[in-house]
């Protein structure tokens, strides 16, 4: 199945809106145009890019003007761009690959983690320790591929026009000595460095904050510059991961993220907690 890249999603939204503006139902389109029900459904749900012939039939039926045709054609070309994929991405879960594509195309990313440091601000050694811990049967190749994929995701923070990152993490992720005190001390230093970037906001929910809506798992939200591209939600937990983009799901999980963020310390106090954790790990190294 084609990955749901931002370009593919933009094309799907545009085609669906054109059909609705023409006052046509999917059944009307199928009756009047040489396109199957499954082809139309897949095109409008960002499950596949329609071929050019199908595109031309749809645009003719929808009475699209020259400007609209040019816009749709540009979206069609963009939807075919899979440059974000690497050979080793075939090892990754389908929705995780789609989430990587969404992060790359996003103008803003919200990230919450209950037990891990957020992926976009992890160090390489921390990534390796996490994967080895949660996936004991992973081969060296598995490990290399997943570490590389995780590190490449972070380009969204260092590219010429970086994404804005709002990351919230539970204190549990800071206190769990993933990889040992040396790895964690370096990770805490990295968090303090990344937090100085003007497009990064990092907040911590302290243990003293008690229970909160984010305790069951992790949550990500990607927002895009194009008005035609709706936000996308990514959730991950013991039962698996999922990429969601319905209006209901986006509202539900953005509301949860807002509630989670309300339980967190402000950026300054969060950095103080991270610095304290770094000091504790450094002391452990000095007394070992």
Examine the pLDDT at 1 and tell me if it is beyond 50: no
* Same domain as 122, residue 68: no
Q: For the chain, what is the domain count? A: 2
* Same domain as 149, residue 99: yes
* Same domain as 282, residue 184: yes
Instruction: Please identify, among 51, 79, 107, the residue that sits at the C-terminal boundary of a domain.
Output: 79
pLDDT recorded at residue 89: 52
* Same domain as 260, residue 280: yes
Q: How many other β-carbons are positioned within 10 Å of the β-carbon of residue 9?
A: 25
What distance in Å separates the CA atoms of residue 279 and residue 161, rounded to the nearest whole number?
A: 34
* Same domain as 54, residue 111: no
Domain membership flag for residue 159: yes
pLDDT recorded at residue 28: 95
Find the mean pLDDT for residues 34-48: 88
Contact 109, 156 (CB under 8 A): yes
- In our burial notation (b when 16+ CB lie closer than 10 A, e otherwise), range 159-175 reads eeeebbbbbbbbbebbe
- What average pLDDT does the chain have? 89
* Same domain as 117, residue 162: yes
Residues in the chain: 288
* Same domain as 127, residue 74: no
Q: Report the Cα–Cα distance between both ends of the chain, in Å, rounded.
A: 51
Find the mean pLDDT for residues 160-171: 96
* Same domain as 113, residue 28: no
Q: Report the CATH number that the domain containing residue 178 is assigned in CATH.
A: 3.30.870
Find the mean pLDDT for residues 149-160: 91
Find the mean pLDDT for residues 242-257: 91
Domain membership flag for residue 233: yes
Note the pLDDT tens digit of each residue in 227-239.
767 899 999 887 7
Find the mean pLDDT for residues 177-188: 98
Of 47 and 228, more confident: 47
pLDDT recorded at residue 5: 67
Domain membership flag for residue 84: no
Instruction: Please identify, among 79, 108, 138, the residue that sits at the C-terminal boundary of a domain.
Output: 79
> Which percentage of the chain shows pLDDT scores above 90?
60
* Same domain as 254, residue 147: yes
pLDDT recorded at residue 88: 47
Q: Residue 92 — very low, low, confident or very high, per pLDDT cuts 50/70/90?
A: confident
Question: What contacts 16, CB < 8 A, 6 or more positions away?
Answer: 44
Domain membership flag for residue 37: yes
Of 99 and 205, more confident: 205
Ramachandran category for residue 112: left, alpha or beta (phi over 0 → left; psi -120 to 50 → alpha): beta
Burial class of residue 287 in the structure, from the number of CB atoms within 10 Å of its CB (0-12 exposed, 13-18 middle, 19+ buried): exposed
Examine the pLDDT at 131 and tell me if it is beyond 80: yes
Q: Report the CATH number that the domain containing residue 75 is assigned in CATH.
A: 1.10.260.40
Q: How many other β-carbons are positioned within 10 Å of the β-carbon of residue 124?
A: 15
Q: List the Cα angle 192/195/197 in 5-degree steps.
A: 130
* Same domain as 276, residue 136: yes
Greatest mean pLDDT range, 35-49, 51-65, 193-207 = 193-207
Contact 203, 157 (CB under 8 A): no
What distance in Å separates the CA atoms of residue 258 and residue 253, rounded to the nearest whole number?
A: 9
* Same domain as 262, residue 123: yes
Instruction: Please identify, among 60, 79, 98, the residue that sits at the C-terminal boundary of a domain.
Output: 79
Contact 122, 268 (CB under 8 A): no
pLDDT recorded at residue 222: 94
What distance in Å separates the CA atoms of residue 53 and residue 79, rounded to the nearest whole number?
A: 16
* Same domain as 269, residue 177: yes
Domain membership flag for residue 107: yes
Domain membership flag for residue 61: yes
Residues spanned by the domain of 233: 89-287
pLDDT recorded at residue 45: 83
Note the pLDDT tens digit of each residue in 50-71.
888 898 899 999 999 988 888 8
Domain membership flag for residue 75: yes
Domain membership flag for residue 197: yes
What residues form DSSP beta bridges with 108? 164, 223
Question: What contacts 140, CB < 8 A, 6 or more positions away?
Answer: none
């Amino acid at each position: 199945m084609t990955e749901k890249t931002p370009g593919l999603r933009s094309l799907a939204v545009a085609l669906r809106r054109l059909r609705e503006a023409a006052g046509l139902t999917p059944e009307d389109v199928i009756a009047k145009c040489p396109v199957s029900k499954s082809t139309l459904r897949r095109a409008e749900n960002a499950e596949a890019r329609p071929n050019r012939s199908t595109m031309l039939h749809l645009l003719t039926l929808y009475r699209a003007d020259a400007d609209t045709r040019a816009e749709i054609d540009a979206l069609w070309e963009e939807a075919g761009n899979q440059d974000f994929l690497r050979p080793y991405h075939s090892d990754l879960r389908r929705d995780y690959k789609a989430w990587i594509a969404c992060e790359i195309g996003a103008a803003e990313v919200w990230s919450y983690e209950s037990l891990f440091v957020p992926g976009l601000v992890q160090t390489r050694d921390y990534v390796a320790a996490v994967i080895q811990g949660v996936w004991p049967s992973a081969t060296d190749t598995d490990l290399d591929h997943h570490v590389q994929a995780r590190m490449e995701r972070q380009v969204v923070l260092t590219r010429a026009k970086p994404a804005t990152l709002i990351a919230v993490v539970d204190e549990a992720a800071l206190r769990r000595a993933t990889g040992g005190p040396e790895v964690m001390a370096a990770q805490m230093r990295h968090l303090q460095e990344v937090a100085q970037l003007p497009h990064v906001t990092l907040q911590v929910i302290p243990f003293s904050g008690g229970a909160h809506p984010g305790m069951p798992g992790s949550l990500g939200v990607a927002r895009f510059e194009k008005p035609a591209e709706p936000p996308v939600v990514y959730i991950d937990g013991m039962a698996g991961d999922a990429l969601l983009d319905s209006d209901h799901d986006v509202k539900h999980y953005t509301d949860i993220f807002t509630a989670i963020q309300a339980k967190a310390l402000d950026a300054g106090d969060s950095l103080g907690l991270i610095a304290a954790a770094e000091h504790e790990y450094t002391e452990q190294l000095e007394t070992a």
